[in-house]
Structure 1
Amino acid sequence: MTPPAVVPGVASAPYDALDWLIERWSDGLGWLGETFGIGMLEYTFMHHAFLVGALIALMAPLIGTFLVHRQLALIGDALAHTAFAGVAVGLFVNATFGTGISPYVTAVVVAMIAALAIELISEVTDAYNDVSMAIVLSTGFALGAVLISINTGGLAVGINQYLFGNLATVSRGNAIILVVLFAIVSLVVTLTYKQLLYVTFDETAARVSGLSVPWYNRLMVMLTAMVVVGAMQIMGVILVAAMLVVPVASAAQFARGFREALLASVVLAQLAVLVGITLSYQYEATAGGTIVLVAVGIYIGTILLGKVQSRASTEATRTVPDDQLTE
């Protein structure tokens, strides 16, 4: 087996440990494929794709639930477009100077800078969040377009996998980057869960209680940037924001509390990713588009199920005699 390329900025020992864990994951899925005759599990790139997909389906609802309740659903789209600029920066630097920097690393850096810029514009200019998001989105996509047009040698071709996602290009090195991002996001959310929840539902009371609301706002957008870059591997820039919103919207149709909505959105996201990746492989379709269509199908299903349950409850209430309702 060819050893994976070294990811800049990742220490050797932790990298080797993650590499070993991913190889064990690959061995496990390979065994399942051989035992049960599942053809798609015979390929290593599918092992990486399912791992990345599962982690995305955990991270995206984890952050997306906070964003939806804070009415910041579109921030994922803004950061995805700036992450596109980060990818273009990485590809441009590699093509120009012959370096081996992973475009996902530069995408993380640029997306996090853009996340801070969104908050800074809102604070300094008193502009609404949607204004700052629109400005950052436009700037990021424009920067990416300019860098691609300057050096069209191989960038225009190579950029397609980042725009639309590609199962076959999920390497072990990229999977390791996502595992690191997942560890950071999950750890930070676990440590700051109560504070983020407080800021999400009552920002004024959070300020009065002494919490640094601007700091937690910045933390949230930076975590969103990490999720966006991680999900970009499979979902692509154009569709990455959907995983932050659609599973959360589906869970909101029946969940009765924040924590229940969070858990339900994770389950629905896992289902969308599992089915979407499988269908994408079977029909050679774009992975990101397939996953989103499955997620939207689940969303429509939850709406219809909610309507049916509501109608059944109404009918049941109507059939109860009036004397029993007054007792």
Structure 2
Amino acid sequence: MTATTIPLTTVEGSVVDRVLAVLLDDLWGGLLDGLAGAAGVDLLSLPFMQRAYLAAVCVAIVGPLVGSFLVHREMAMIGDTLAHAAFAGVAAGLFVNAVFAVAVPPLATALVVAALAALVVQTLVDYAGAYRDTSLAIVLTGSFAVGSVLITAADGGIAVGINAYLFGSLATVSRANAGILLAMTTLVGLAVGAAYRPLVYVTFDEVGARAAGIDVTRYNRLLAVLTAVVVVGAMQIMGVILVAAMLVIPVAAAAPVTGFRRSIAASVAAGLLATVAGVTLSYWYDVAAGGTIVLTAIAVYVAVIAAARLRGRLVSSRRERVARANADATDADAGTGAGTGTPDGGDGAE
């Protein structure tokens, strides 16, 4: 009687499938199915929309979480740079698949290339003496050039496959991609939580952080790599062209909030509103998900800024009214005090 050998890859695959089934179907899918039944919204029960909403929630969390550090360091455009690097990575993956018939996941190559590009940007800033905007421009244009060369080198055969990554699509969020994005979100959240204090110190006072003995270079590289992870994760639904928006716009919408922790929470809330509403509108009107999410995020930003200015004007007007009332009361008291003497202007003494 011979023993049956089960390949390790099969066992690992079955374990991953069971974990994804529990997380995506039982927990997340069950939650949205319950909401669909309670609210009478059928789209919440559609499996591909459930994956799209999960991706939207993940992007809304990690985008502002990392973007808050980037915006305060005046490196908001690094997201756009790494998005173009991810484009080159996707093109490389599709090129290898088309030319060499090797099954390479485009998201995996995008993550590798984007992470390497992030380290190159940080190296240029730290050691090459290049200004930040110059280093970003070099990596951005170079990455886009590599991607365009790979597309044309394959006789245009991969141009159709890359469109979904350029503009984003609800249909591209597969079960496996949703699981990868969920893992990325967990990884980014844990990394930011573990390195939160030094990251804040380096963000607001890099010179002081160096003087305090903090390895600034290491945390700069950590932030750059986390940005690459966020860009690749958001690329599934936002597309390469618009992926940088979720690193910047929700953070800008949270600008009126004081306190860094509170501003991060507010930016995540703004991101959740923009992504969930954007995905819903994209489904209803059959338009691009990435563009709809960005436009919704801009609308949230405009509404928040307008509300903050209106509140500021109301507060200023209230203060002016109080000051005017106090001045009138002071004048009235002065007039009363002046009228307490005798009619001939004396003080009443004989």
- Per the normalisation by structure 1, the TM-score is 0.93
* Cα deviation code 1:170-197 (max 9, x no counterpart): 1011111111111111111010000000
1:313 alignment partner, one of 312, 315, 318: 315
| Counterpart for residue 59 of structure 1 | 62
Matches of 1:109 and 1:76, distance apart in 2: 15
| Counterpart for residue 289 of structure 1 | 291
Note if contact 2:115-2:228 (Cα within 8 Å) is conserved in structure 1: yes
* Cα deviation code 1:89-108 (max 9, x no counterpart): 11111112222221111110
Identity of aligned residues (%): 49
Q: Which shows bigger deviation, 115-124 or 258-267?
A: 115-124
Matches of 1:217 and 1:11, distance apart in 2: 35
Matches of 1:232 and 1:206, distance apart in 2: 33
Q: How many residues align?
A: 318
| Counterpart for residue 305 of structure 2 | 303
Post-superposition shift, 1:35? Answer: 4.9
Post-superposition shift, 1:54? Answer: 0.2
Matches of 1:199 and 1:127, distance apart in 2: 19
| Counterpart for residue 3 of structure 1 | none
1:150 alignment partner, one of 136, 148, 153: 153
Matches of 1:15 and 1:57, distance apart in 2: 25
Post-superposition shift, 1:310? Answer: 1.0
Post-superposition shift, 1:322? Answer: 4.9
The within-5 A match list for 1:53-202 is 53-152=56-155, 154-202=157-205
Matches of 2:322 and 2:184, distance apart in 1: 54
* Cα deviation code 1:44-90 (max 9, x no counterpart): 11110000100110000000000000000000000000000011111
Larger Rg: 2
Matches of 2:214 and 2:125, distance apart in 1: 19
Matches of 1:321 and 1:104, distance apart in 2: 61
**Cα RMSD, aligned residues only:** 1.9
Deviation beyond 6 Å, 4+ runs, structure 1: none
Note if contact 2:61-2:272 (Cα within 8 Å) is conserved in structure 1: yes
**1:48 has 2:44 as partner:** no
| Counterpart for residue 237 of structure 1 | 240
Matches of 1:185 and 1:18, distance apart in 2: 19
Post-superposition shift, 1:29? Answer: 2.0
Structure 1: any 5+ residue segments left out of the alignment? 1-6
- Per the normalisation by structure 2, the TM-score is 0.87
* Cα deviation code 1:217-263 (max 9, x no counterpart): 000000000000000001100000000000000000x2011111000
Matches of 2:45 and 2:265, distance apart in 1: 31
Post-superposition shift, 1:26? Answer: 2.3
Kindly provide the amino acid, as one letter, of the partner of residue 96 in structure 1: V
Structure 2: any 5+ residue segments left out of the alignment? 1-8, 331-350
Matches of 1:59 and 1:137, distance apart in 2: 22
Matches of 1:291 and 1:64, distance apart in 2: 16
